[in-house]
Each structure stands twice: as C-alpha cells, then as structure tokens.
Structure 1
Amino acid sequence: MLKPSKSRNFDDYADLVFCTYIRKHLETVTRVDVVWDAYIDNSLKATTRSKRGKGIRRRLAQQNFEEKVVVAINAKDVLCYPPRDDVSSLTPFRIMLHVSDAVKHGLKRVMIRTVDTDVAVIAVSLFRDDIGADEPWLAFGSGKSFRYISIHDLPNALGIERSHTLPVFHAFTGCDTVSSFAGKG
C-alpha cells in the first residue's frame, strides 16, 4: 500500500514512509489505529508468510502525539497512546472491534484504510447492526484503483438481507482463507 520509495532497509521504510504516513494523518484526525495482518498456524496466510520470510521485528520509538490517540496492534499486543488500562475490547486482528471502540469513545465518522476485499465485505455486512458509526468510510485500493467507498450508503442500496449475506458469497468467490472457483471472482 505504501511504496518503499528511496528506502534502503526496513528502518528507512519505517522512518521515511510508514511513520511519515501516520504523522500526516494525525494532523487531521483524532485517532489512528494500526492493525497488522495475523498469520495463524496451519492457515493459508501462514503458508504465504513462510514463503516471504520472517524478517526482523522493529519496535518504533514512542512519540508524543499530544491530543491524539494512537492504537497499534501486533500479533500479541495492543499498544495505546495515551496508555489505557483496559484494552480487552481491542483484540488483535479484529478491525471492526477497533471501529466499535472508536465509536464508544465518541467518534462518529470513521475511515478504514485497506487494500483487502475481505475488510470491505465485512464492513458493509456489519454496518447496520455492529459498527455503530454514523458515517463509516473505506479508503480502498492503491494507485489508479484507489477510491473512497461510503460504507453507510451501500447497505441502503443493497438492502439489509443482501448486505448480511455478502460474507457467504465472498467466501465462495475468493476470500483470503477459502479457495475460489477457477477464474471467477
């Protein structure tokens, strides 16, 4: 999603690209949650991850974000700034739980940035009953395929029943953990 640019290694990428991207967003928003993909043992994603290699993990230096909230998730930990005593509602790899937590803390307009169709399908299917935000948006794709999608308008256009059944059809046509029909997506 974020091109490496002139980065020579992961440290450069973290400093020059990733942290710069997060800081830029913190200029205009009150909260940023960073949720990484998880690779559960014996899953298709774990196989993909093993082919890519493990690499070196790097802890980013803590920064002062003043009046902002930053939540970062890795495979096991929930890290918050400012620190919170109870992070049990922010289970790792559950993006919609982060949206729900943001709404519980007063946010009504939420943007989910992803390149993953699974996230888009789940967001649309859960909007009416589970998300709770007045105006959830999806910043989806990258490059020429990037677009903003109004999650709150799609269930109205599709209808409640169709919105709720989207994950079933998506599972048969190519979600990350289920094989798709050859040539059909």
Structure 2
Amino acid sequence: MQDEVSGETQGSSTSNAMINIAKSKQRTLTLPPSDIIESYGIWYIMVTIEVQELRCDHEEADTRLLLHTKHAASYEDTDTVIIRSPDTDVIILTISIIHCLQANLYQHITGRNGRILHVNRIADGLGEKAAQALVGIHVFSGCDTVSAFRGKSKKKLVKIMLSEESHIATFHQLGMEWEITDQLLQRIERFVCQVYDQNQGNNINDARYSCFRLGMNDNSLPPNKDSLVQHTKRANCQASVHRRCLLQTVDAPNPHGHGWLCSDTTLTIQWMTLPPAPDSVMKLIKCKCQKSSCETSRCSCKSASLLCTELCECVSCGNKAEAEDDKIAATSSDESDTE
C-alpha cells in the first residue's frame, strides 16, 4: 500500500529517516533512506504489512475481494468502500452481504457502459431476505461454473423468484449447507415447472411430458428430474462457496458427488446418473447420413454410441457391424505385420 509521507524527509542527511504514515492510527517507522520513493516532489514509501485477517483458503478472486472489502469496512473511520469490478458475480455478492457490513458500499462497474451502483440502496429495495436469495438464483440460472436453462433468461428466473415468498425462501436456503435436502429439491422442482409455464405442476417429469405433448422442440424441453438433481447439486456447491465469502476458511468439500465427477486430475460435469433412454428405445434410433459416412457426431447413431442398423437410410455407412469388423481385422493385420 502507498502512503504519503508527512514530516521532513528531504535527502539522506541521516542514516535513518523518521516517517509518519497517515492511517487510522499514527505509526512511526524507522526506515533506511533507500526505501523512500520520491515522485513529483512528494515522498512516498511502499509498506508491506501482513494482515492475519486476510489469510484465507479462497480459490476465487471474487470471494477474496469481498473478504478484503469486509476488512476495509472494519476500520472505525471508514464509512464508504468502493469496489471497481465489471464482474456480475461480484455485484451479486456485494448485494447479498451488505447487511453484514457497517459501511456504504459502492461498486464502480468499469468498461464501455461504466457506472457506479449504490449497493446499500439496491439491497434495501429488495429486502434482506431477497438480497441474500440473489446468490442462489444467480448460480442456479447460470454462472461461470453452472450451466443455464436453454431459452430461459436470468431475468425471467429472477422475476419468478421475486413473485412468491416461497421461491425467495427456496433460493435463500440454496447454498446454506453443502448438501441439499429432499424438501429443497421438491421446492426447486415446483419453481422449474413455473419457469416452463407449467404453473399447476410440482413434478418436473410430468412437466417435461406435457411440454413434449404440446410439440415443444426437443432442445427446449425442461430437464428430467435426474438431470435437475445434478444441476441443483452443482448450483448448491457454488452458492455455498459464495455464501462463505466473508469467512477466512471456506473449507469446500471435494466436488465429486456434487454434480461433478473427479478422476485423477480431471473434473467433468455429471449431467445425469440414468441412461438417456431405455435400451429398447435407443435401438430404434436411425440416421439418414448422406455424406459423412456416419463417422462424425452429426450421425444420430454415432452420437448415441450405437451401430447403424437396417432401419437407417445412410449412404456409404462406416458405422455398421460389418464396417467395425473390417476395422478390427485391419488393425490385427497391421499388428501382425509389425511383429
């Protein structure tokens, strides 16, 4: 941190210079002249102080920034803190934790459409519980680590949440604990049904079937319950990390089992635990590939890890049983030649 030097510190007439640093409390440091920096006629000194309150296990800059904000607001003579960041996560976090800070908090959003937000005023307009629920609905509707609902904007999900106290309570609870309860899942199911305009439904599988009967495009259907559970686990895990932004120790668990799969050093999303369809249905898949020889993921059979059958209308297919046998035979022949 950089502080203006007060007192007479011209030149190096003495081996040590006594420098007063303007802070909440006056401190006098004895430093060698070589550590004093002069810029435009003003003497400065760069002082590094280890602050135990800022030691933490945070992995994200977003949450670490809020811990620093809490520390800055803790000084008795600090009544205003300004954060400079264009990040949406930071905006949501500042609104959700403002009730824990005894200071006016502003966020300077940088960039082309830069502006300054008075965070206290926004949080007061929402109410404390709704402000805290923003963390839950933000990650649930899609953030850096959690997928979004295709065709459903964040604005729509927030609007539905604010329309009912029960929805606010649901997302206020999301992320409070590392594990989700069956009761919370039931309430989230009901919320997602409303997102897809199935306002009378409480079962997401029924809502998905209803949308299918209405002719909704496959890519726009609601998720099934298995996929929704995994999505909720990921959202809950991320919300739990965000809600602990003011703590020095987050102590986050291994993401495996929280909507993620860990193997060695690889972390992948667990989209579902059930097969995409029963085997009897999968065998009815057929393709009509004309140019790709059924060797790319654009082939519906190939993408489902199935071989093409007599039902398919493909041309020059390279994904039939005979083609696979030919590939195996060719590979064995090459290995024999090598030996």
Question: Please, what TM-score do these two structures have when normalized by structure 1?
Answer: 0.52
Contact kept? 2:109, 2:116, Cα under 8 Å:
yes
Equivalent residue number for residue 136 of structure 1: 105
Partner of 2:129: 161
Q: Is the 8 A contact 1:125 1:166 kept in 2?
A: yes
Secondary structure of the 2:89 match is helix
Over residues 7-53 of structure 1, what are the superposed CA-to-partner deviations in whole Å (9 max), with x where a residue is unaligned?
xxxxxxxxxxxxxxxx9xx9xxx99xxxxxxxxxxxxxxxxxxxxxx
Deviations 1:49-98 (A, max 9, x none): xxxxxxxxxxxxx99598999xxxxxxxxxxx522133442536311111
Contact 2:106 2:119 survives alignment (8 Å): yes
> Does 1:82 pair with 2:47?
yes
Match of 2:85 in 1: 114
Please list every run of 5 or more consecutive structure 1 residues that lacks an aligned counterpart in the other structure.
1-22, 32-61, 70-80
When residues 182 and 95 of structure 1 are mapped into structure 2, their CA distance, relative to the original with a 3 A threshold, is same
Of the two, which has the highest radius of gyration? Answer: 2
TM (norm. structure 2) is 0.30
Contact 2:85 2:108 in 1 (8 A): yes
Residue 103 (1) aligns with residue 73 (2): yes
CA drift of 1:120 comes to 0.2
Task: Give, in whole Å, the separation in 1 of the partners of 2:143 and 2:36.
Answer: 36
Structure 2 partner of 1:170: 138
Residue 174 of structure 1 deviates from its aligned partner by 2.2
Which residue is equivalent to 1:18? none
Q: For 2:79 and 2:95, how far apart are their aligned partners in 1?
A: 16
CA drift of 1:166 comes to: 0.3
Contact kept? 2:53, 2:71, Cα under 8 Å: no
Distance 1:85 1:95, change over 3 A: closer
Structure 1 residues 123 and 90: alpha-carbon distance in aligned structure 2, compared to 1, 3 A threshold: farther
Which segments of 5 or more consecutive residues in structure 2 lack a partner in the other structure?
5-21, 24-34, 155-339
TM-fit CA distance, 1:132? 2.6
| Conservation of the 8 A alpha-carbon contact between 1:127 and 1:152 | yes
- Is residue 173–residue 179 contact of structure 1 (8 Å, CA) maintained in 2? yes
Match of 2:94? Answer: 123
Find the aligned partners of 2:87 and 2:44 in 1 and give their Cα distance: 26
CA RMSD of aligned residues (A): 3.4
Q: Is the 8 A contact 2:81 2:105 kept in 1?
A: yes
Deviation at 1:176, TM superposition (A): 1.6
SS of structure 2 residue aligned to 1:180: coil
1:173 CA displacement: 1.9
Contact 1:90 1:98 in 2 (8 A): no
Letter in 2 for 1:85: E
8 Å CA contact retained: 1:90, 1:97: no
Aligned length: 115
- The question of whether the paired residues in 2 share the 8 Å contact of 1:140 and 1:148 is answered with yes
How far, CA to CA, are the matches of 2:97 and 2:109 in structure 1? 17
Cα pair 1:137 1:148 within 8 Å, conserved? yes
| Identity over aligned pairs, percent | 24
What SS does the corresponding residue of 1:152 show, helix, strand or coil?
helix
Letter in 1 for 2:80: R
Query: Residue type matched to 2:106 in 1?
Result: W
What's the secondary structure of 2:120's corresponding residue?
A: coil
